[in-house]
Structure 1
């Protein structure tokens, strides 16, 4: 039985680059065959990524590649930008599915600006409360994984773009872990050059980055799983 492709084809990046320069329905419809080929390529690559990622996160093993890819069509109803298509392809590996917002693993594919990412983006109020509670009770575990060499090799630290300006309700402003408690998302990212994704070791390279953030996802899952059992 043939194995899944372990890298992306250059033609997929070429398609996305051309789409960025011709983001209109007429061009897209004329080049629909190229789009379908690119989509099939990314889906096949996703199968290899699932296989690799399942080695360190077995909860991903049963995911179907087609259920991990995001649509290329943009929702322009509430946006000033009316271009109809995304100029990237994205995939999300999460045990509870593509449309869930739990801890997971993301790959963003676009010429010149591809990156991997992961963690828990903007958790809902109950989960955010549970994560902050776990930080309050068990900050040592989180700081140890954030300071691990395997983590710091890929990520400088947690993203801070959604941090509160003041202490969250229930925590003093001089709390020793106030910087972590102010976060509203718990995510990280790591950029890639195009050539990384088009070499035979691409799937293993992406999975290695995800493996470095897997302990973070486990910490976040543990915090929110415990919270869900309390209701």
Structure 2
């Protein structure tokens, strides 16, 4: 049964701050009820409320309280940093409701920042190659997507961009295209004011952002559909 999002508890961020200070399984167990009521259950409700709103808006993104959230526990098996808990909680809504598909919505509530993103993140080599080829051979479609994002106040993120053109794209000379083919990901982001996470208005804010970010979803899906 989908829950209705009524805002995160006022102690959501203070809980993360205290958890980060203690980084103790004993402390977490003692305060699990606070975690559930202030952070985890509201986050589950947010995911399911967004899933309903995304369906109504025909965005092709969905999620639920069981599959969408990432665990607050860190995987420390291969890390030198053995702190057991993350400093944030996050979730993905995707075309199939899993965390494994591409062209997704991501939301992150944390100590350093709160933000949302719409992303083709680390696409598989075949899809990434097809995206780069589409940029080089169908620049009008790529530029139309960028222009549509700009009209919505958004822009593709340049994080983790290659320093040099990938093999086969050395001859792409126009600056905007040359930069774009160096992308490893195609992402737009929206910063969330932490003071605004406690009200239902967060849902409208995130739906509005995702609608403005839809051009990058549509662009990637058109390419994906030709190689699937």
TM-score greater than 0.5 by the shorter chain: yes
Tell me if the contact between 2:118 and 2:189 (Cα under 8 Å) persists in the aligned partners: yes
Is the 2:93–2:99 Cα contact (8 Å) retained in structure 1? no
Deviation readout 1:17-56 (Å, 9 max, x if unpaired): 2212222212111111112222111101211111222233
Check if 1:161 corresponds to 2:159: yes
The alignment status of 1:52 with 2:53, answered yes or no, reads: yes
The answer (yes or no) to whether the contact 1:16–1:110 under 8 Å persists in 2 is: yes
Question: Any gaps of 5 or more consecutive residues in structure 1?
Answer: none
> Normalized against structure 1, the TM-score is what?
0.88
**How much has 1:174 moved relative to structure 2?**
4.0
Specify the alignment match of 1:120 in structure 2.
Answer: 120
Structure 1 stretch displaced more, 49-58 or 215-224: 49-58
Contact 2:64–2:97 under 8 Å retained in 1: no
Instruction: Tell me which residue corresponds to 1:40.
Output: 41
Conserved 8 A contact 1:119-1:188: yes
Aligned-CA RMSD value: 2.2
Give the direction of change, closer, same or farther, for the CA distance of 1:165–1:2 in structure 2 (3 Å limit). closer
**Distance of 2:2 and 2:172 partners within structure 1:** 58
Given that 2:54 and 2:61 are in contact with CA atoms closer than 8 Å, whether structure 1 keeps it comes out as yes
Offset at residue 150 of structure 1 (A): 6.0
Listed as ranges, the gaps of 5+ residues in structure 2 are none
Aligned to 2:188: 188
Tell me how far 1:202 sits from its aligned partner: 1.0
Taking the aligned partners of 2:35 and 2:73, their CA distance within structure 1 comes to 12
More RCO (CA 8 Å, sep 6+): 1
Give yes or no for contact 1:151–1:213 (8 Å, CA) kept in 2: no
Cα–Cα, structure 1 residues 149 and 93, in superposed 2: closer, same or farther, change >3 Å? closer
Could you say which residue in structure 1 is the equivalent of 2:169?
A: 171
Q: How many residues align?
A: 225
Deviation at 1:133, TM superposition (A): 1.8
In structure 2, relative to structure 1, the CA distance for the partners of 1:3 and 1:108 (3 Å cut) is closer
Q: Which residue of 2 aligns with 1:22?
A: 22
